[in-house]
Amino acid sequence: MEDATTPRSRLVGQPLLYAISVFASLGVFLFGYDQGVMSGIITGPYFRKYFNYPGPLEVGTMVAVLEIGALITSVAAGRVGDTVGRKGTLFAGAVIFTVGGVIQTFTTGFWTMLIGRITSGFGVGLLSTIVPIYQSEISPPDHRGALACMEFTCNIIGYSSSVWTDYFCSYIDGNLSWRIPLFVQCVIGAILAAGSLLMPESPRWLIDADRDVDGLRVIADLHGGDLDDPTAIAEYDEIREKVRENRESGEGRSYGVMWSKYKRRVLLAMSSQAFAQLNGINVISYYAPRVFEEAGWIGRQAILMTGINSVIYVLSTIPPWYLVDRWGRRAILLSGAVIMAAALVATGWWMYIDVPQTPNAVVICVIIFNAAFGYSWGPIPWLYPPEIIPLNFRAKGVSLSTATNWAFNWIVGEITPYLQDLIAWRLYPMHGFFCICSFILVYFLYPETKGVPLEEMDAVFGEDALQEQLENESERTSLILPSPDVPSRLPRIRNEQSWFSRLGRATGRPRYELVTDVTADEQR
């Protein structure tokens, strides 16, 4: 085991935190790039000729088979992440993704392309599961939302980069016009694989794996590098205490135990990812050039409109950096659902009336939809699941939510070309209906998690385990104080009052806090 006095990194404090966040975000950049790269090349003349002018179902299969691979490994990532750690899973995902990218780049036909796509999907499944977990476990509560939203911005930068790469390569005559965009993802994947070896492991995973000294070292580095820093020691003690409680409970850590104890949390995590897809984003991400061609923009012009849309899409992901830890998760999801529903209904209406203004109107509607998604249902479903699932089940719970994402991702990607031909303009109001459903779900069922430490998330959901703990502790200490009456001489309680106040509003439960670190005189 590494000595606790040995520095692990030259960077400490905020620079280390942001460096980790930026580099880990290469993982989400990769699957953002991979989602977008196919949208431009499937309409290219050389690509279509090489694959013998594939029909809608063949195109849908080539695009969506990646989600099959991602679905498989996102389920397995729960066990992999607990066994080899967050860092090891990140490395494995990057290597597998790169291998798949090489197969796609040098494909010799339809079936080889499918093998490459599904192999890359295996890597994407690991990356898309482990990166949000890793990010949430190294982030402080008051910056956790902002860092996760920055991570999503990297995902959309990846998407935008792929669209513009497709656009500029469309000027190349020959098959390099689609092979070069596919090769770029191999380079990025190799960089991520090499860089993941330099990143520190998640401190929560290290402590859960009985590597306490290493865990304390990482926590100290994230707080400035001082092993005696009171804040770092307090965080370490809180994580270690939570690990101890989980082990002493005597419960297993299987999917079955997680489902029986945290069914509500798991269902909420899965629903957030399901509606992120049902709300219609991949109709645009995967098939934007086809959407614009349907509206009247033809050939390279359709890719150009997709590129312009992608730039605005990137810009729309920046406001949540500042709003998610101020407004909270619920307000952003609710407002985004309303705007997206209106934009999708308007898109269908303009296509239905089919007037000379339709091409420009559809571009505007799609841009508004993409911007609303980028500000709301894009980042939050990647932030919310690792927040609400407890440490001992976090990898498994997030793996199920991510698997849900890829399952619905595959459904949307597979059937969209067919539905575009079958029901035409009606496709867009259909997804607008799902946006309304997502609004209702969030309004009535999603609790707010803004500013709540991960180890205190039980209280947000009013878990019976918390009540039992309160009762047991009250018998031992004979002192339960309502939070408004806690004396100012108890700094620990005073520091936690702000989030406990929000907790009371989110759950509607009485706000109580245990005080066990008081003297006998104070108890009397």
- Which range has the top average pLDDT, 297-301, 316-320, 359-363, 520-524? 316-320
Position 513 scores a pLDDT of: 41
Position 261 scores a pLDDT of: 86
Position 16 scores a pLDDT of: 83
Kindly report which listed range (16-25, 160-169, 318-327, 390-399) carries the lowest average pLDDT score.
16-25
Position 468 scores a pLDDT of: 55
Position 18 scores a pLDDT of: 78
Write out pLDDT tens, residues 155-187.
889 888 988 898 889 889 999 999 999 999 899
Position 349 scores a pLDDT of: 93
7 has a pLDDT exceeding 50: no
CA 272 – CA 333 distance, rounded (Å): 10
Write out pLDDT tens, residues 278-287.
998 877 766 6
User: Residues with Cβ < 8 Å from 76, sequence gap 6 or more?
Assistant: 125, 126, 399
Q: Is the model more confident about 322 or about 437?
A: 437
Write out pLDDT tens, residues 183-214.
998 998 998 898 888 888 889 899 988 898 99
Burial string for 286-301 (b: 16+ CB within 10 Å, else e) reads bbbbbbbbbbbbeebe
271 in Cβ contact with 442 (< 8 Å)? no
Mean pLDDT, residues 309-316 taken together = 88
Q: Is the model more confident about 509 or about 450?
A: 450
Q: Which two tokens stand for residue 213?
A: 């000294």
CA 368 – CA 135 distance, rounded (Å): 29
Position 476 scores a pLDDT of: 52
Length of the chain: 524
Position 514 scores a pLDDT of: 39
Position 67 scores a pLDDT of: 82
Q: For 318-385, list the strands marked E by DSSP.
A: none
pLDDT over 90, % of the chain: 27
Position 297 scores a pLDDT of: 75
385 in Cβ contact with 454 (< 8 Å)? no
339 in Cβ contact with 372 (< 8 Å)? yes
Write out pLDDT tens, residues 459-501.
888 764 545 554 555 445 444 444 434 333 333 333 433 333 4
Write out pLDDT tens, residues 373-427.
999 999 999 889 988 988 788 888 888 998 898 889 888 877 887 887 788 888 8
Reduced to 3 states, what is the DSSP secondary structure of residue 512? Answer: strand
This prediction's pTM: 0.72
Cα dihedral 116, 118, 121, 123, rounded to 10, equals: -60
428 has a pLDDT exceeding 80: yes
337 in Cβ contact with 435 (< 8 Å)? yes
Query: Cα 295–348–406 angle (5° rounding)?
Result: 90
Q: What is the DSSP letter of 306?
A: H
Kindly report which listed range (182-186, 253-257, 349-353) carries the lowest average pLDDT score.
253-257
DSSP lists the bridge partners of residue 514 as 480
pLDDT classification of 456: cutoffs 50, 70, 90: confident
Position 170 scores a pLDDT of: 86
Enumerate the domain spans of the chain: 13-199+260-457, 203-244
pLDDT classification of 32: cutoffs 50, 70, 90: confident
pLDDT over 70, % of the chain: 84
CA 129 – CA 398 distance, rounded (Å): 6
CATH code linked to domain 13-199+260-457: 1.20.1250.20
Sign of CA dihedral 30, 125, 405, 181: positive
